Amino acid sequence: MPTAVTVAECLRQAQTHGLARVDAQILLLHSLQRPLHDRAWLLTHDVDTLTPVQTATWQDALQRRLGGKPVAYITGRKDFFGLTLAVDARVLDPRPDTETLVEWALACLPESKPESSPASSPSNGSPHILDLGTGSGAVALALQHARPDTKVWAVDASEDALAVARANAARLHLGVQFMASDWLCAVDVLRTGRFDLIVSNPPYVAEGDPHLAALTHEPLSALTSGADGLEDIRRIIAQAPAYLAPGGWLLLEHGWDQAAAVQSLLQAAGFAQVQSRQDLAGIQRCTGGCWHSEG
C-alpha cells in the first residue's frame, strides 16, 4: 500500500483525469461515508488522510466515474428537490433540470386549504395529481412532500422502476400510490377520479441522437422515443384530455429544441394557455397547457 493519501491529493488526482470538481467531491464524500451535500467539510479537512478502505473505495469510485457511470449510480443516492432518493441502473438518474417541472407543477396547484374550510374543488378539496413515467419516483415524491394535502398517483411501464420508486416512498414515508401502466392505458379514472394536474418527464431523446453515446448507463426505455424523440409525448397528449378535470394542467418536460413542437401538439389537441418554462441553464425545458372543456 503506498503512503496514505489526503483529501486534497484525491481531489487533485481526479482533476488530472479531467473529472468535474463537483463529481469528485461527491464521490470522495461517498468514499468517506459522509453526507453527500457536505462539500464544505472537504475544504476544512483537506489534509485528513484516508484509511486503506476509504482509499480503495475512492479509487474504485473514480475508475467507475471515468468509465462514464453516473455519479448517482456509484453512490446509490441522489438529492432531488430536497429529498434524498435511492437510485440505481433500473431508473433514469434524476436531473436538476427536472426541478423546473416540479416548481411549475406546484405553481399550478390551487392554494392548500385549512382543514376546516368547506370543500369546493371537484376533487373534494384535495387536488389529484398524476406523474407519468415516474422512474425513481422523483417528481411524484417531491410533489407529495411539498403538498401533503394532495393525492398523488404515479405510473411506470417498468416493474423494475416501480420497485425503486416504491422503496423510495416507503423510506421517505410519502403516501404516493404507484401503478404499472403504459402511460394512461391502465389508469382507471372511475377509481382515481379526474386529475387536476398531470406531469411527466417522459423519454424524449431521438433514436440516433449523438448525445446517447454519453448515456449508455441509463435504461434506454427511459431516454429514447422514436425517430424525432416525440413519440411518447404525442401519446401522452392524445390520452391526457380524458383524464383531466376541467381546468386541469398537463405539464411535460422535453428536449432543448422541442418546445415549439410540443406547444403545437398541445394546441392542436385543444389545450389552452399553452406555454413553456426555462430550466436552470435558460433552456425551454417544459411545456404545458390547460384543459378547459369536459373532454
CB of 212 to ligand GLN, least distance (A): 9
Measured distance CA(62)–CA(45) in Å, rounded: 20
CB of 202 to ligand GLN, least distance (A): 6
Q: Which is nearer to ligand GLN, 31 or 201 (CB)?
A: 201
CB of 207 to ligand GLN, least distance (A): 12
CB of 135 to ligand GLN, least distance (A): 9
Cell triple for residue 246?
376541467
Measured distance CA(81)–CA(146) in Å, rounded: 9
Smallest CA-to-CA distance from 223 within 211, 234, 235, 240 is with: 211
Q: Which is nearer to ligand GLN, 52 or 210 (CB)?
A: 210
CB of 230 to ligand GLN, least distance (A): 11
Q: Which is nearer to ligand GLN, 96 or 148 (CB)?
A: 96
Long-range contacts made by residues 281-285, C-beta under 8 angstroms, separation at least 24?
A: 281/97, 283/97, 283/256, 284/256, 284/259, 285/97, 285/100, 285/101, 285/253, 285/254, 285/256, 285/259
Cβ proximity of 102 and 143 under 8 Å: yes
Q: Which is nearer to ligand GLN, 29 or 237 (CB)?
A: 237
Q: Which is nearer to ligand GLN, 90 or 95 (CB)?
A: 95
Q: Which is nearer to ligand GLN, 215 or 266 (CB)?
A: 215
The kind and range of the H/E element at 182 are none
Note the residues at the interface with ligand GLN (CB under 6 A).
92, 95, 97, 201, 203-205, 215, 223
Measured distance CA(189)–CA(242) in Å, rounded: 9
Question: In terms of DSSP bridges, do strands 195-200 and 77-80 run parallel, antiparallel, or are they unpaired?
Answer: unpaired
| CB-neighbour burial class of residue 167 (10 A; exposed 0-12, middle 13-18, buried 19+) | middle
Residues 141, 234, 189: CA angle, nearest 5 degrees: 55
Q: Which is nearer to ligand GLN, 8 or 157 (CB)?
A: 157
CB of 278 to ligand GLN, least distance (A): 14
CB of 256 to ligand GLN, least distance (A): 8
